[in-house]
Amino acid sequence: MSFMKPKWWRDRPQNTRLIGMKCEKCNYVSFPEKRRACPKCHAIDSFKTFPLSKTGTIVSYIVQYYLPEEFETPQPLAMVELDSGGRLYVLMTDTAPEEMKVGMKVKLEYREILKGMDASICSFKGVPIERVMENKK
């Protein structure tokens, strides 16, 4: 028995957007979207939903070499500061571990991250902007 949602449900637009929260008092942007108190100005219940950009800059990263067999290794994992504000961790794709660097510009693309027995798990992966541009040529 599978507990994964069917593909048509996972690919709905509301599941493929990045939505964060923005503090109305100090403009701090957070992700994920549920937050009661602002960690910057400590205002309570001052957050409104806020669409996040799908581009940003790597501020830190690691390369994972030992993962369950379902995952490709080595697997770069990056903390990305989004252009709209907010940070999140993403698995990187279309880049070798030795190409990873702080300051690298990335675009977030909705892709498969793990294939289950009868379904796939999809989420955002980071793709170096230069690779996105190469693929458009």
Residue entry with tokens 């070499």: 65
Q: Where are the domains of the chain?
A: 16-52, 53-137
User: For the sheet containing 19-23, what is the strand order?
Assistant: 29-30, 19-23, 47-51
CATH code for the domain defined by 53-137? 2.40.50.840
For the chain, report the end-to-end CA distance as a whole number of angstroms. 43
Let me know: does 49 contact 21? Beta carbons within 8 Å.
yes
pLDDT at 108: 95
- pLDDT value for 5: 63
Tens digit of pLDDT at every position of the chain (137 positions): 455 566 676 666 666 788 889 999 999 998 876 778 998 999 999 999 889 999 999 999 999 999 888 788 899 999 999 999 999 999 999 999 999 999 999 999 988 887 776 667 778 999 999 877 676 66
pLDDT for 7 equals 67
